[in-house]
Amino acid sequence: MAMVALFAIQACGSSGDSTPTRSYYLGSTPFFTTPSAFPDWRFENLDDRDLLSVHVDDFLGIPWTQFQNNTALPSTWVNQWTTLANNAKATGKTLYLAVSPLGNRTTLAPNIDNSSNRTENWVPVDGAGCYRFSSDANAANYKQAYINYVKYVIGLVQPAFFSPAIEMNMQFARCAPADKAAYIAWNTDVHNAIKEAYPQLVVFPTFQLEYLYGTAEAVASWAPIACTCTTTCSRCPEEASARRCSRCTS
């Protein structure tokens, strides 16, 4: 660890020279959460950061109807976003903005009405709580509303990197195949619309690691039994996770 730390220091500049020389971005997210404040972003102690991840997710909700109809946006919601964007840009750091169309990674993000009231679970879902991307007649309208929304927040924050979908593979695992396919197509159209409007912007979705490796549901479904490791003892925890066992014995 000491060697890694030393390398990181040397990569930032030579002795007596504070000019950064690293060829990559060193970043973090200024997102905080406390019992009395959620969400909360604190842009402080950033001297050694090159990039800030402005992780908004679905936390502020989306005025879906207003973005769909191109009508006035709720003032309180606008003020929240404007304050966040101004604080982020004031740092002078490279910005990465990440938002999500989904709440709980399965249904559309909370709706914000004209009075800035928030409504959860406001669209049709199946028994698993998944929005019916494949069958809801309004899916195309919501897609256009989301495109309008992401263009709006990109214009406010002016990020260099942008994610219009967060941990999108969680929906793949939790929802029906038809809705998975429709969600991918829905997001493809969103991505293409963003790139058409902002061709220089780096746009990509993010994926959840345990779902990517296929171990997330295994962790949730562990049985209270032991299984025998077929690999070395140091690999037992990983094998237990992959094989849906509570532990491994050598």
pLDDT digits (tens, 9 = 90+) for 3-51: 222 223 233 443 344 555 678 888 888 887 777 777 888 888 888 889 9
Residue 40 amino acid letter? D
Report in angstroms the alpha-carbon separations of 149 from 70, 191, 201: 10, 13, 16
pLDDT of residue 170: 95
Residue 217 has pLDDT above 70, yes or no: no
Structure token pair of residue 210: 């345990």
Contact yes or no for 169/208 (Cβ under 8 A): yes
What rounded mean pLDDT belongs to the chain? 82
Q: For 154-176, what is each residue's pLDDT tens digit?
A: 999 999 999 999 999 999 999 99
Instruction: Domain ranges for the chain, please list them.
Output: 25-213, 216-250
pLDDT of residue 232: 41
CA distance 149 to 81: 12
Give me the phi and psi of 125, to 5 degrees please: -130, 165
- What average pLDDT does this structure show over 120-133? 95
Structure token pair of residue 60: 């502020």
Q: What share of the chain is helix, strand, coil (3-state, %, to 5)?
A: 40, 20, 40
CA distance 59 to 57: 6
Structure token pair of residue 157: 């924050």
Provide the CB-side half-sphere exposure for 180 (13 A, CA): 10
- The SS3 assignment for 55 reads strand
Q: What is the Cα 180 distance to its own chain's centre?
A: 18
Candidates 99, 18, 88; CA nearest to 57 is 99
Cis (ω within 30 of 0) for the bond into 20?
Answer: no
